[in-house]
Amino acid sequence: MGTTFRHEALLYDGEVGFLAGTLPFIREGVAAGEPVLVVVSAAKVGLLRAALGGDADRVAFADMAGVGANPARIIPAWRDFVAVTDGGRHARGIGEPIWAERTPAELVECQRHETLLNLAFAGAPTWWLLCPYDTRALGPDVLEEAERSHPYLSERGAARESPGYRGLEQAAEPFAAPLPDPPTPPAELGFGPGSLVGLRELVSRQAAAVGLDPGRAADLVLAVDEVATNSLRHGGGRGTLRVWPEDGALVCEVRDAGRLQDPMAGRERPTPERDGGRGLWMVNQLCDLVQLRSFPDGAAVRLHMYVP
């Protein structure tokens, strides 16, 4: 291992390939006394525990479905892991945020997460993160994006530099990937200085119409209110809310004339010393998926809350 953060994509084929690529990585870390955290599906956690035997007790495991259902929550989890490692000791992690069943919106945000990892841990204490990609289950476009978001690639036991890696400069740019149009005409409401009561009432009505649990509906209302308040303060003093049902979720989008400059917005845990950033952090804790975009004509925040 080198002296800086190493971000590597593991290209594997099915369960056998997954074990062949991850077990040596874990065992090397255990043998060296390094902290190891593995965040993958519950099924793969079971596979690894069985294969590791007694060494499994020396590894920390977590279910990615819980840690990273909203991909914006994954970087803070890795920050917590690195923060508790002892001084300058090397550490290792395995994280698989992308799997075939991810929705298209989730996939885009997972890919954004993979790019931002390089920015989040640039210059961080030494640790090595291996990100598995199942070549049997994922499409070629997903694998090509993995090459762009990871400085290193590993396949069949051989590691190499990724020729397609896009670098830190592009990762730090405002994110302007297109957002798909709503599948049906959305409910729409403009808002400006003054009360946001009408906005909250619209979200509440739409949440009730799709059968969203009252507690989760309240969380969504709070999240939309927070984003709209930011629009009033930093986005030109006004904005537009659109709300629609989509693929088992209620989606709320706030657009304004502002610009999101911080690529890590909503992904860094607030501290007493840091001004700002608490609103988007809270929104990511409340919602199942959050999409942030900064376009030439303004910013968009799209919030997804899944309906069981």
**pLDDT tens-digit readout, 198-227:** 999 999 999 999 999 999 999 999 999 999
Assign 126 a pLDDT band (cuts: 50, 70, 90): confident
Name the strands in the sheet holding 249-256, side by side, starting at the edge strand that comes first in the sequence: 187-191, 239-246, 249-256, 298-306, 289-295
Is residue 189 within 8 A of residue 198, CB to CB? The reply is yes
Give 175-201 pLDDT, tens digit per residue.
999 999 999 999 999 999 888 999 999
Neighbours of 161 (CB within 10 A): 10
**Partners of 95 in the beta sheet?**
39
Is residue 87 within 8 A of residue 122, CB to CB? The reply is no
**Does 187-306 match 6-171 at the fold level?**
no
May I ask the CATH class of domain 187-306? alpha beta
What angle do helix axes 214-234 and 278-286 make, rounded to 10 degrees?
A: 160
Domain boundaries, given as residue ranges, for the chain: 6-171, 187-306
Which pLDDT score, from 0 to 100, does residue 235 have? 87
pTM above 0.75, yes or no: yes
- Residue 185 CB contacts under 8 Å (≥ 6 apart), including other chains: 244
Q: How many Å apart are CA 116 and CA 258, to the nearest integer?
A: 22
Fold of the CATH domain 6-171: Rossmann fold (3.40.50)
Is residue 30 within 8 A of residue 36, CB to CB? The reply is yes
What angle do helix axes 74-84 and 104-120 make, rounded to 10 degrees?
A: 30
Assign 84 a pLDDT band (cuts: 50, 70, 90): confident
Residue 100 pLDDT exceeds 90? yes
Which pLDDT score, from 0 to 100, does residue 52 have? 98
Phi, psi of 187 (to 5 degrees): -70, 140
Which pLDDT score, from 0 to 100, does residue 168 have? 92
